[in-house]
Structure 1
Amino acid sequence: MTNNQTSNIVRITLLISFTLLGFSFFLGSNANAITHTFNFYLLTEWVDTPLLSILTGIVFLVSALLVIFAAREPALRSVLLTIVAILALVPLFTLFSETRWIASLGGFPIIGSGQGIIKYAALLPLAVYLCKYDAMSLRQHALLNFLPVALVLYWIGAMKFFEFEANGIVSLVETSPFMSWLYAIFTVQGASNAIGAYDVLFATVLGFAIWMKAPRVAFIAVVGAGAVFVMTQTFLLTAEGAFSSATLLSGLGQFVIKDLWFIGNLAVITQYSISLDKSIFVPQQVEA
């Protein structure tokens, strides 16, 4: 996998997600997310939520256009990097707001709405890869892109061992043709534990493979971790209410579509793994 191929994968994931999120926020979807985010910065005292939703949608849509044009105009890459950094950091800082915590379970880092917020951490490494590729080695890019993958798989994976999370994913798992079978084998908590163990396992294996420069192990781990983020995309079609005719994506839909970013993160890690051992993907010639 070359830099151009990886860059195209990253651009596609950003373009699709930014476009869908942009139109969703512009049309007023998930107003609570806008309120909670901008309450943290006290902006809702000056600007009402509908206007903030529209402005947020516009920023996402502008970012989608920049993803396209920055590929041909290097001068726009700094602009893209700056805007994506803002898109990522503004919600990430709100993790320090009590509205993101579940106080009855100990508070931070036991998070409620913060599950969707930590996903914004995936954006910064992708923007750096697209806009400042030559400023870092490919190994440094791989390590940087591993961090958000590990954050989400460890954090959300670990939450699967809590009863409230096990119950919270029932509506997603039982409607999925790919995952509903878990409830035929396990209890609700058992199925959630299995999912959580899977997430934690592949995050650990992936980190080990990158650190130890084990490309074949890394490739297996990328496939395993990637399956998590590809699977969540199917929830857009199987989960009730993920799409809305009025707002394009519901709050659940917005939560799910962000997982596209991690596919981009994993693409960068895959490029690094292939650079270490190209024989994984290059057929061996058999001598006569």
Structure 2
Amino acid sequence: MYSKTVDYSVASLLVVSLVLLGISFLFGAGANSVSSAFDFYGLTDVMPISNLGMLSGVVLMVTSGFVVLHQSKSIAAPLPLAAIAVVCLFTLVTLFADNRWIAAHGGFPVIGSGQGVIKYFALLPIALFLYCRHQLSKKTLIWWNYFPVALVLFWIGGMKFLELEAKAIVPLVETSPFMSWMYELFTVQEASNVIGIYDLLMAILLGIGIWFNYRPLLIVAWLGCIAVFVMTQTFLFTAMGALSDTSLLTGLGQFVIKDLWFIANMLIIAYLTFDHRQNEQ
């Protein structure tokens, strides 16, 4: 893979996701997530939720514009890097809010609305690759991009062993032409357990493959991990209520589209580990 091709692919995934998220926020989708985030900072007392949603949409659209302008060499790297960092950190800090965790199950680490929030960890490694990679070693970039992939597979994958999560994914699994067969072979909980085991196993194997730089294992684990995030994107078209006529994406659609960031993480890992033209730094 050539560097320019990877840059373009990663930037394109970033732009598409930010634009779709931005449009959906502008047209009122994800009001609960907007409320939860801004309420943490006490801003819901200052501005109506609808206006805060529009503000979120504008920020995401402007950030995507910075990415495009940098790709066309119209602006310098600090602008998109700073914008992505603001979006990422503003959202991640809200993980300290109590409402991100399911109190009925003991709170942390049983995560509720925070499942969508932890996905923002994927943004910073993407930005580091696009705008700072010459200041970082190849190994550092690989591990930075592995971290959000492992985090979401371990954390959300681990949640699959809980009854509440097993039931929550039923609308996604039963409408998927690729996964509905699982309910013919397993109970709802058993199917969820299988998905959880798969997620955990692939994350572990990818980490081992990176650590030992063992190419056959890397290839298998890489394919296994990226399959998770590609499969998630199919839910946009198979799950009821993921898309909207008025805002493109619903809250569910917003949750799903963020997995484009993990596909970008996986592309970066592939470029840095599989391309023999990459020199060890």
Partner of 1:215 in structure 2? 215
Cα offsets for 1:62-103 (capped at 9, x unmatched)? 111111111132743101011101111111111110111101
Q: C-alpha separation between the residues in 2 aligned to 1:72 and 1:277?
A: 25
Q: Which amino acid in the other structure matches residue 100 of structure 1?
A: R
Q: Which amino acid in the other structure matches residue 183 of structure 1?
A: Y
Q: C-alpha separation between the residues in 1 aligned to 2:125 and 2:21?
A: 19
1:275 CA drift (Å): 3.1
Partner of 1:230 in structure 2? 230
Partner of 1:271 in structure 2? 271
Query: Is the Cα contact below 8 Å between 2:153 and 2:199 reproduced in 1?
Result: yes
Partner of 1:201 in structure 2? 201
Matches within 5 A, 1:59-208: 59-73=59-73, 75-208=75-208
Query: Is the Cα contact below 8 Å between 1:213 and 1:276 reproduced in 2?
Result: no
Partner of 1:254 in structure 2? 254
Q: Which amino acid in the other structure matches residue 102 of structure 1?
A: I
Q: C-alpha separation between the residues in 2 aligned to 1:277 and 1:168?
A: 44
Unaligned runs of 5+ in 2: none
Give the paired residue count.
Answer: 278
Q: C-alpha separation between the residues in 2 aligned to 1:247 and 1:62?
A: 18
Q: Which amino acid in the other structure matches residue 143 of structure 1?
A: W
Query: Is the Cα contact below 8 Å between 2:8 and 2:71 reproduced in 1?
Result: no
Q: C-alpha separation between the residues in 2 aligned to 1:213 and 1:143?
A: 12
Query: Is the Cα contact below 8 Å between 1:215 and 1:276 reproduced in 2?
Result: no
Partner of 2:9 in structure 1? 9
Unaligned runs of 5+ in 1: 279-288
Q: C-alpha separation between the residues in 2 aligned to 1:136 and 1:142?
A: 10
Q: C-alpha separation between the residues in 2 aligned to 1:215 and 1:131?
A: 27
User: Normalising to structure 2: TM-score of the pair?
Assistant: 0.96
Provide the aligned C-alpha RMSD in A. Answer: 1.3
Q: Which amino acid in the other structure matches residue 214 of structure 2?
A: A
Q: Which amino acid in the other structure matches residue 173 of structure 1?
A: V
Partner of 1:26 in structure 2? 26
Q: C-alpha separation between the residues in 2 aligned to 1:160 and 1:45?
A: 36
Q: Which amino acid in the other structure matches residue 87 of structure 2?
A: L
Partner of 1:50 in structure 2? 50
1:276 CA drift (Å): 5.1
Cα offsets for 1:250-287 (capped at 9, x unmatched)? 00000000000000000111012213599xxxxxxxxx
Q: C-alpha separation between the residues in 2 aligned to 1:50 and 1:127?
A: 29
Counterpart secondary structure, 2:64: helix
Q: Which amino acid in the other structure matches residue 197 of structure 1?
A: I
Partner of 1:38 in structure 2? 38
Q: Which amino acid in the other structure matches residue 32 of structure 1?
A: N
Of residues 190-199 and 7-16 in structure 1, the stretch that sits farther from structure 2 once superposed is 7-16
